Amino acid sequence: MTNLKKLIDIMSALRGDKGCPWDKEQTRDSLKPFLLEETYEVLEALDEGDSEKIKEELGDLLFQIVFHCQLAKEKNEFDIDDVIDEISRKMLNRHPHVFGKRKFKSKEHFRKYWDEEKKREGKHKESILEGVPKALPSLLRAHKLQKKAARVGFDWKKTGDVFEKMNEELKEFRKALKNKKQPEIEDELGDIFFMLVNISRFVGVNPEDALRKTISKFISRFRYIEMKAADNKRNLSDMTLKEMDKLWDEAKKKEYRRKKYAKTR
């Protein structure tokens, strides 16, 4: 029995007559939050670079996929073998330079073929912007939409042009703040976020990854402030901003030393 077959059988038993009450009552809708949660836990493990944690979280994500396949099997729609067959067929068709004799002159030539193949699969219908899920985090969705538009030439030529547009959006945001009109402020702030995504795309950085890592740094440094305050039997609310900033800088220095040590190992 393969490991995958073993997991499928476990899932089937959990949903069976003598299975787990919780698993038996789950639906596609009820499982959505868990699928999303497990995905983000995989991303967090990848950011941390912990191979054991990555292995564990990938297993949890795989379990969610197997769960959805079991629900579909019970409805006589498809099973996990159909899912594997479909993705295998798709990858073979989309990589004829690997699994066939076709050759591409450049990455751009390959991307054009990739998009055309997705159209043949019915992925794109009326617009090249279709196919980007609405449920994606906004930064990631903006990044993907911009990349799709850029492929057909709707893009700036150089980074300087992007910064010039960014400065324009900042001026409009300051004007909106001065007018004190909340809908206008929200609209202009959205434009700034969108331009930041454009800048990240130009410098080859995924904005969702960058922000997620910054959030992790913020949590780590703030926890350092909390622990130091607790060691000194002080409440954060009783500390001055200057005192907290000093501890913040200490946390940054500790991070730098850890990274430097990790590189030398």
Say yes or no to pLDDT of 54 above 70: yes
Give yes or no for a contact between 131 and 123, defined as CB atoms under 8 angstroms apart.
yes
Say yes or no to pLDDT of 164 above 60: yes
Same domain, 192 and 243: no
- Nearest residue to 86 (alpha-carbon basis) of 67, 64, 70, 69: 69
* CA within 13 Å, CB half, 203: 11
Mean pLDDT of the region 43-58: 93
pTM: 0.69
* CA within 13 Å, CB half, 71: 16
- Grouping H, G, I as helix, E, B as strand and the rest as coil, residue 115 is helix
Residue 48 resides in a domain: yes
pLDDT per residue over 92-127, tens digit each? 988 998 998 888 888 888 877 877 777 777 665 678
Element (H, E) at 24: helix 21-24
Residue 88 resides in a domain: no
Residue 113 resides in a domain: no
pLDDT given for residue 264 in this prediction? 63
pLDDT given for residue 12 in this prediction? 96
pLDDT given for residue 42 in this prediction? 95
Q: Which amino acid is at 142?
A: A
Say yes or no to pLDDT of 1 above 80: no
Say yes or no to pLDDT of 189 above 90: yes
The CATH number given to whatever domain includes residue 64 is: 1.10.287.1080
Same domain, 260 and 200: no
Give yes or no for a contact between 39 and 208, defined as CB atoms under 8 angstroms apart.
no
Say yes or no to pLDDT of 148 above 70: yes
Same domain, 9 and 32: yes
Domain that holds residue 53: 3-78
pLDDT given for residue 119 in this prediction? 73
pLDDT per residue over 59-84, tens digit each? 999 999 999 999 999 999 999 999 99
Give yes or no for a contact between 214 and 139, defined as CB atoms under 8 angstroms apart.
no
Measured in whole angstroms, the distance separating CA 43 from the mean position of its chain's CA atoms is 7
Mean pLDDT of the region 232-257: 93
Could you give phi then psi for residue 213, rounded to 5 degrees? Answer: -70, -35
Q: Which of the four pLDDT bands, split at 50, 70 and 90, describes residue 265?
A: low
pLDDT given for residue 124 in this prediction? 54
Last residue of a domain, one of 205, 223, 248: 205
Residue 116 resides in a domain: no
Mean pLDDT of the region 174-198: 95
